[in-house]
Structure 1
Amino acid sequence: MKKSYYNNRKKKARQNRTKGKGARRFKESMTGFLFLLPALLPLLVFWVGPVLYSLWLSFTDWDMMSPEIHFVGLSNYKSLIGQSDFMAVLQNTLVFALGSVIPTILLGLLAALALSSAKKGTRIYRMVMFAPYITPMVAVSIVWSWIFEPRVGILNYVLSFLGIHGLKWIQSRNTAMLSVIIVTVWKQIGWTLLFYLEALQKVPGNLLEAAAIDGAGKVKRFLKITLPMISPTTFFLLIITTINSLQAYDQIQVLTQGGPAGSTRTLLYYYYQEAFESFHTGKASAVAVILVLITVILSLAETKVSRKYIYYE
């Protein structure tokens, strides 16, 4: 009897201690949540709320004018998938993303390699290369629109000296996308340059010296040592430049307005046209949802690939 009595008391004491710990943990969690609440409120109001509202609008036919909103289910998504214009927009987005991301990273890396071996004037070169990035894209695009001008633009003037016939650049559907890509890459090279310069400085010099002693040439040392060591920086730049390419708007608006004949109309610009020119708010919200999904899928795919090819110390 006594043994069972003491066992019951121990069991109850253990249960009380467990309940006490649970209550303390809950109290600590609520205290932490209350401290975070002032920071979370703006996030909920200005980010989570609009995202959820846009998601709901993508299932409606609202035109931004009518007070009535009708639920249409997946009709907006079905109409987008069945449109040849939307398929062309997706293709333009892919071309623009590849055409801007790859050259930006490669040219930024080449510029960083050149500057890392320079002995004098590196600060001036950094400042000159980084200046376009801190310049507003609208101002950059306006200047480049003058450079691309077919009759009096400086670019065709330089080409004429080389014996090359001038191009129409932003006025032709054959070269308009190339023109927008040139402006985008030119603006972002200085940004990637700074990241690569910092990454190159962290490559252990003793590894490079040991490889040189073993007979490895400059190219082999770069491919086997430097490139793997700076791969985290490359991965970071790949993610950010990809997202930036999907969000491109200013340069397209200033240079081409999505033309000629829709040749430079990407997903974000198509969203703008549907929402604020055609007032198809429901359809535009569906475009925005698709854009977010594409961004998430690309980011996850790049992250999965990085686990195999990115070197972390």
Structure 2
Amino acid sequence: MKLGERFRAFWNKPSHIAYLFIAPVMILLVTFSIIPMIASFFLSTFDADIFLNDNKFIGLGNYQEALQDPRFWNGLWVTVKFAVVEVPIQMIVAMVLAALVTKNSVQNKIFRGIYFLPIICSATAVAIMWRMFLHSSVGIFTYFLELMGIRGVNFLNSPDITIYVIIFMSVWKTFGISTIIFVSAMQNVPKDLYEAADLDGCSKIKQFFKITIPIIMPTFSFILITRLIGSLQVFDIIFTTTGGGPNYTTESLVTYVYTRAFSTQNRLGYATALSEFLFGLILVLTVIMYGKMFKNKNN
């Protein structure tokens, strides 16, 4: 068989055409995801600075140091606490709002555009805006509290409440995208199910829990996983508002990684090892949650 005939025979197979279209994406994935992941693991085995000078291979030394580092455990605790509190609140707010604006009325369409606006803004811009609102001297919230006789509240410099203030900022910033996804899922629920439930005398609340939620559960699981991954990587909103303070009470693991690598520590190898711990945590949680999601889908 001639070369031209072999070439035509090769591309006449549908699977080979599919490989051609997949190839650019796979090349980008390998170049910008797989190779950097492998390189970061090797970098974590070196005592390296940001300029990669005087690199010294230390094996798992960075990982051993991390396990004995109080700030690593503090950053991990802050990260987990942020995710455990932020994700449920955000999903509840998004689901309730989605249920209220599912109908395609003019008012609901306008409202969807309004609550989607925060997601368009960068997290840094949102953090700066809220930092101005919550300023202990000139912030608008401080002003209204003083009108009510409440003084001395420092939202961004209190070890007890600052992390929850940042969680509020994050929820305000991100709930819009989850709401839009929930609205799309709820609009695809068959209307005849609601009509049958109305004939049986089911209330709207009962319909929501017995019909809507079970049908949109795959969407719920998708949002839960993506929001959990995002919240475990929280950085910009914390870095812009508090920088991890006061007394490291808002220092997430990613914030600590940045401090170690680029701020004052200049220990890129150690920071990479810290990020590998976070990657492992996210990977394990994602595999577990996707496994449960597909298991429930098959059942």
Same fold? TM cut 0.5: yes
Q: Which residue of 1 aligns with 2:257?
A: 271
Alpha-carbon separation, structure 1, partners of 2:171 and 2:251: 18
Give the secondary-structure state (helix, strand or coil) at the position aligned to 2:211: helix
Report what 1:238 is aligned to.
224
Specify the alignment match of 2:126 in structure 1: 140
CA separation of 1:41/1:298 partners in 2, compared to 1, >3 Å: closer, same or farther?
A: same
Per the TM alignment, residue 241 of structure 1 is displaced from its structure 2 partner at its CA by 0.8
1:83 matched to 2:75? The reply is no
The CA distance in 2 between the partners of 1:208 and 1:35, in whole Å, is: 42
User: 2:96 matched to 1:110?
Assistant: yes
State the Cα distance separating 1:253 from its structure 2 match. 1.3
1:35, 1:176 → 2: CA distance? 49
Structure 1 partner of 2:241: 255
**Residue-by-residue CA offset, 1:91-130 (whole Å, 9 max, x unaligned):** 1001111222111111011111121258441121111100
Alpha-carbon distance, 1:162 to partner: 4.9
Assess, with a 3 A threshold, how the Cα gap between structure 1 residues 204 and 165 changes in structure 2: closer, same or farther.
farther
- For the pair 1:207 / 2:175, whether they are aligned, the reply is no
Could you tell me how far 1:308 is from its partner in structure 2?
Answer: 5.2
Maintained 8 Å contact 1:150/1:168: yes
The match for 2:168 is: 182
Q: Cα 1:92–1:84, aligned 2, differ >3 Å: closer, same or farther? A: same
Q: Would you say the 8 A contact 1:235–1:310 is kept in 2?
A: no
User: In the TM superposition, what is the alpha-carbon distance from 1:251 to its structure 2 partner?
Assistant: 0.8
In structure 2, give the amino acid aligned to 1:206. D
**What SS does structure 1 have at the residue aligned with 2:221?**
helix
TM-superposed deviation, 1:42: 3.6
Tell me the CA shift for residue 299 of structure 1. 0.8
Q: C-alpha separation between the residues in 1 aligned to 2:250 and 2:297?
A: 33
Distance, in Å, in 1 between the alignment partners of 2:20 and 2:168 is 49
Indicate the larger mover: 202-211 or 40-49.
40-49
Change (3 A) 1:41 1:199: closer
Task: Provide closer, same or farther for how the CA distance between residues 226 and 287 of structure 1 changes in structure 2, counting only shifts above 3 A.
Answer: same
Q: Percent identity?
A: 33
Are the structure 2 counterparts of residues 116 and 65 from structure 1 closer, same or farther at C-alpha, using a change threshold of 3 Å? closer
Amino acid at match of 1:296: L
Q: What is the alpha-carbon distance in structure 1 between the residues aligned to residue 252 and residue 52 of structure 2?
A: 28
Task: Summarize the alignment of residues 52-71 of structure 1 with structure 2, pairs less than 5 Å apart.
Answer: 52-65=38-51, 67-71=53-57
Q: Max radius of gyration: which structure?
A: 1
Q: Which amino acid aligns with 1:294?
A: L
How far apart, CA to CA, are the structure 1 residues paired with 2:132 and 2:255?
22
Aligned to 2:153: 167
TM-score (norm 1): 0.84
Q: 2:273 aligned with 1:294, yes or no?
A: no
Unaligned runs of 5+ in 2: 1-8
User: 1:48: how far off?
Assistant: 2.0
Amino acid paired to 2:242: T
State how far apart, in whole Å, the 2-side matches of 1:199 and 1:39 are.
28
Aligned partner of residue 55 in structure 2, secondary structure: coil
Q: Is the 8 Å Cα contact of residues 61 and 71 (structure 1) preserved in structure 2?
A: yes
Residue 7 of structure 1 is matched in structure 2 by none
Q: Alignment RMSD, CA only?
A: 2.7
| Whole-angstrom CA distance in 1 between matches of 2:147 and 2:157 | 22
- Picking from 66, 72, 82, the partner of 2:58 is 72
Cα 1:52–1:176 shift into 2, 3 Å = same
* Shift in alpha-carbon separation, 1:102–1:162, aligned structure 2, 3 A: farther
Deviates more, 1:268-277 or 1:208-217: 208-217
SS of 1:170's equivalent in the other structure is coil
Contact 1:138–1:254 under 8 Å retained in 2: yes
Relative to structure 1, the CA distance from residue 217 to residue 245 in structure 2 (aligned partners, 3 Å threshold; closer, same or farther) is same
Kindly provide the amino acid, as one letter, of the partner of residue 56 in structure 2: H
Alignment of 1:82-101 (within 5 A): 82-101=68-87
Q: C-alpha separation between the residues in 1 aligned to 2:192 and 2:175?
A: 29
The structural deviation recorded for 1:152 is 1.8
Q: Number of paired residues?
A: 290
**Contact 2:72–2:274 (CA<8 Å) still a contact in 1?**
no
